[in-house]
Amino acid sequence: MRSHTGQLSDNQPIRRNLAEKQKQLRDLKETLATMKPHTSPSLKESIQRRIRELEVEIRTALRDTASASQDRAPRQERTRRAPRRAHHAETFGE
């Protein structure tokens, strides 16, 4: 049976937001810490690799968020300023 576009069975990566990535990172670190000594080295390596990847993704996302907020700050200041007004005497023709 064929899948419909957008279903998880389309073999597409699941997109996660920053909070979900941070939760997944905590869970993986906890899993790694509770592993028994006889756990296969390949499983440990794969979890450690995923932890490193998540840490890089989170750092990148935080850096992008910080730079985006810095870019927005000057624009917001400009829009908050009061508009320039003509001199009072010029307005009333005095």
67: left (phi over 0), alpha (psi -120 to 50) or beta: alpha
Q: Output Rg (C-alpha) for the chain, integer angstroms.
A: 26
Q: Using 50, 70 and 90 to split pLDDT, how confident is the model at 32?
A: very high
Q: How many residues does the structure list for the chain?
A: 94
Q: Tell me which of 14 and 78 has the higher pLDDT.
A: 14
Q: What is the pTM for the complete model shown?
A: 0.61
Residue type, 91: T
Rounded to whole angstroms, the Cα distance separating 90 from 94 reads 6
Amino acid 85: pLDDT: 65
Q: Do 32 and 51 contact (CB within 8 A), yes or no?
A: yes
Q: Using 50, 70 and 90 to split pLDDT, how confident is the model at 77?
A: low
